[in-house]
Amino acid sequence: MIEKWKTLNSQFVFNNKWVTIRQDEIELPNGKVIDDFFIIVRPDIALVFPVTPNREVVFVRQYRHATNEIMLELPAGGFDPETESAETAARRELQEETGYVADRMIKLATLYDNPIKDTNKIHLFLTENVTYSGKRNLDITEDIEVELVPISEVMEKVYRGEINVTGTTTALFMGLHFLGHLRAEG
C-alpha cells in the first residue's frame, strides 16, 4: 500500500512576490530522510475558455520569459483561494487580459498544475457568448495581443504545436468535448 511521506520540518527559504520556495525535511515510508525537498508555493490559477457569439475562441498571445517564447494561450491568472473564488478570478482575468466579459461560467475541472514540486491547482472554466467591453487592465509584465480563432480551427493549432501550454490544451480538449466539437474516437 502506498503511504504518504512524513514532514519532519518545513521552512520558507525564499519568499517574494514572484516566487516562494519552501524546504521540507521529509521521512519516506522506508525510513530514509531527505532534508532538502524543495516545494514551490504558488497561487492557484483560474483559466477560462471564452467563446464569442460568432463561435470564435478568445486567445491571448504573450511573451513567456521562462521559455523565451511568445505563446498563444487562453486567458488565465493567479489568485488566492482564501480571498477570491476561482470563478471570480476567471471573470477578472478574462476582462483584464482581453476586454471581454462573460455572463455564465461553466466549471470544467480543478486539476493540480504540477504536483511534483508545486502546491497550486488550476481551475478550468468555459464560457460562451462573451462580449467585448473594451476595458483591459494589464499587469506591468503583460504585453498581450488578443487573437480570435474560429472554433473549427483550434485543434489544428494544437496539433501543429502553435498552442502548447498544458493548462490551455487541457481546457481546449475538455471544452471542445463539452461543446460537441470533439468526440471520443473508438
> Would you give per-residue pLDDT tens digits along the chain (186 residues)?
999 999 999 999 999 888 899 999 999 999 999 999 999 999 999 999 999 999 999 999 999 999 999 999 999 999 999 999 999 999 999 999 999 999 999 999 999 989 999 999 999 999 999 999 989 998 888 899 999 999 999 999 999 999 999 999 999 999 999 998 765 543
Q: Do both 125 and 172 map to the same domain?
A: yes
Q: Do both 140 and 112 map to the same domain?
A: yes
Q: Do both 75 and 89 map to the same domain?
A: yes
Between CA 178 and CA 183 the distance in angstroms is 9
Could you tell me which of 73, 132, 72 has the C-alpha nearest to residue 98? 132
> How many folded domains does the chain comprise?
2
Q: Is residue 186 part of a domain?
A: no
Q: Do both 80 and 125 map to the same domain?
A: yes
pLDDT at res. 45: 96
Query: What's the pTM value of the predicted model, to 2 decimals?
Result: 0.91
Helices (H) then strands (E): counts for the chain: 3, 12
pLDDT at res. 25: 97
Four-CA torsion 90, 84, 64, 109, nearest 10 degrees: -50
Residue 35 is placed in which grid cell? 532534508
